[in-house]
Amino acid sequence: MKVSILQPPYPSGSSDGASVCLEWILDSLAALPPQQDFVLLPEYANVPGLSDQDEMRRFADQDGARFLERISGFARERSCAVAVGTVAEESGIWLNRTLMLDRSGEVVYHYDKIHLTEQESGTLELVAGDRVGLVDLEGATVGFATCFDVYFPELFAAMLHHGVDIVLSPSYQRSEIADRLRYMSQTRAVDCDAWFLRSSYSAGDPDRAGRSLIVAPDGEIVVDAGSDPGVITADIEPDRKFVKPRSHGQPDVRHGSLMNDRRRPEVYTGGSR
């Protein structure tokens, strides 16, 4: 599976800046070589950089909606699946929603971010999702971990239990240090025994933000976008798993199977002092 991940420039925080960011994304998609199988875009890709609730919602309903129509057109014309982080309204509530589009450009699944930041649940009045996101992508089981979701290991234990092959992590982290973004992405790949694909924004700082990544199930960073805007691409094997000795000197076993076999959730919340 040939996957590409976009890392747009950091948006300025205005509607004009958001429009510039959308054009960068669309131009970058148009410049991709043929035979792409899957493209990942970052969190808030239809409203990049906007933090005022009214402005964000207005932009999502207008420019953001037209942008998503063009994303659908790209998927259809290129016969390429796309996942895109959005702000979306449904039945009067607003959500941090990742859309999965198939090769025909149709939305076949959505995941609503489970763990919202205080800014999201407070100022923006977004509503949290209530289920682990899982979908089939051409035979691969795909899970979702949007930005702040990555800090909650229980989510990844659940995804491992469900046998995920790929974890998608659209993000908008601006202050996290670069090393920690790499370490956490590597750890979550190992936690899930799955490919970990991360898309975020460049902040122009070599020590912070950026770090769109493709990480293998054994924690190896296959491609790192670094701190600058750009596109990263790799061919991945979704069914590849991390294989290691069961213990020292013992036969090899799939890491994920070992973790599922030996996990003891019944004792984790009891505790003692």
| Domains of the chain, CATH where assigned | 2-241 (3.60.110.10)
Write the pLDDT tens digit of every residue in 239-252: 999 888 888 988 88
Query: CA dihedral in degrees (149, 152, 153, 155; nearest 10)?
Result: -50
Distance in angstroms (rounded) separating the CA atoms of residues 147 and 152? 10
Write the pLDDT tens digit of every residue in 59-89: 999 999 999 999 999 999 999 999 999 999 9
Share of the chain above pLDDT 70, in %: 99
Q: SS3 of 102, please? A: coil
Q: What is the pTM of this model?
A: 0.95
Distance in angstroms (rounded) separating the CA atoms of residues 48 and 11? 6
pLDDT for 273: 66
Distance in angstroms (rounded) separating the CA atoms of residues 237 and 48? 31
Share of the chain above pLDDT 90, in %: 82
Q: Is the pLDDT of residue 18 over 90?
A: yes
Residue 118 dihedral angles phi and psi, to the nearest 5°:
-60, -35
pLDDT for 224: 96
From the list 230, 195, 193, the residue with the least C-alpha distance to 211 is: 230
